[in-house]
Amino acid sequence: MRIVMHMDKNRRHRAIIRALRSGPLVGQESLRRVLAESGIEATQATISRDMKEIGVVKTPQGYMLPDALADQHAPVVDRALELSISTFLVAADIAGTIVVVKTEPGHAQALAAALDRAGLKRVVGSIAGDDTIFLATRSAKDAAWVLKALQRLAAGQFGPGGNAPVTSEFKGGWS
């Protein structure tokens, strides 16, 4: 019996990945319908667990595979970062060399994934919980810079030079 359940789980995972490769899905109910059309019946709780195991991320466009945005062109990733920050960021503050980012409950991982995909030069790494993200930087000066950049993105403003969007400067260009 256990082997059969495992095979069903693998089949569900493959079906979820196939569905998400065709584009983002707005909600778990739409994913449940796609699975049902493939002959796979699953509860919302099962789908939610499967999505977590696969690493599906929730973005403003809908549920996506983590590599879906990274595979697209940079301007789309930049726009996705801007949308994620304007949608999910509630507050941010500095604690030494760490930028502490607050989101509404359940949204920290989606925003952290968008920040990770952006390849922030001044961020060494990130950790996301349910509603909090820690962005580790190399120095207090870098932390202050990242906080200011996040605030500008949240406000829809442009980068420090005033000419380019903040996101274009995030990627390997800001030192």
| CATH code for position 79 | 3.30.1360.40
Residues paired with 153 in a beta bridge: none
Do 128 and 54 lie in a common domain? Answer: no
Q: What is the pLDDT of residue 50?
A: 87
Mean pLDDT of 35-62: 85
Q: Which of 85, 31, 82 is nearest to 54 (CA)?
A: 31
Do 97 and 155 lie in a common domain? Answer: yes
Q: What is the pLDDT of residue 83?
A: 73
Domain extent for 21: 2-59
Q: What is the pLDDT of residues 30-44, one digit of tens each?
A: 889 888 888 888 888
Within the chain, where are the H helices?
A: 2-21, 28-37, 44-54, 66-70, 74-88, 108-118, 140-155, 166-170
* Inside any domain, residue 24: yes
**Residue 132: which residues within 8 A CB-CB, separation 6 or more?**
100, 101, 102, 103, 108
Q: What is the pLDDT of residues 78-105, one digit of tens each?
A: 666 777 787 888 999 999 999 999 998 8
Do 50 and 114 lie in a common domain? Answer: no
Contact 28, 42 (CB under 8 A): no
- Looking at 10, 28, 59, the residue that finishes a domain is 59
For residue 135, name the pLDDT band (cuts at 50, 70, 90): very high
Pairwise CA distance, residues 170 & 154, whole Å: 14
* Inside any domain, residue 26: yes
Do 43 and 120 lie in a common domain? Answer: no
